[in-house]
Amino acid sequence: MKYKFIILLVFIGFLIQSCSVQVKEKRSSTLKDAYKPETIVKNENKEKFQSKKSESNKTKNQVLITITEEDRDFVKREASALNIQIPDDRDIDYFIDYFTTTKKYFTENALKRANYFMPMVRKIFRQEGLPEELAYLAVVESGFNPFA
């Protein structure tokens, strides 16, 4: 009787061990960790950048792009040729900076997913008589993440 009890305990032990769930260590995304920040600066602005370099370590994905007056004039000429009004607003500048530096990784993924979802969304908006530009709201709200 004593041996039957020991054999039964050993059998139950093997049964429990075989049914147990093994928890694996969760790893973070290697793509996000492997992303290296890059800095883009025009040659004529290198001196300004070097002085600001120590101040610009705010985020790990920050990209510093300096825009000259020549660049601004070019954008204004192109916008006027295409009848696009560009408002000069601090809020707009803030969000451009935010989505191109702090949330750069989010923005890159959202634009990749937009290639898949935008044609479908635009087609539905056309059928329902809605402005197609509303589809860009999804980029900011969820980044076209279907699980958001």
Q: What is the DSSP string of 65-80?
A: ----HHHHHHHHHHHH
Q: What is the pTM of this model?
A: 0.42
DSSP state of 96: H
Which pLDDT score, from 0 to 100, does residue 5 have?
A: 59
Neighbours of 123 (CB within 10 A): 11
Q: Sign of the CA dihedral 104, 118, 145, 27?
A: negative
Joined together, the tokens standing for residue 11 give 């059998």
Mean pLDDT in runs of 10 for the chain (148 residues)?
64 55 50 50 58 52 65 82 81 81 86 90 93 86 85
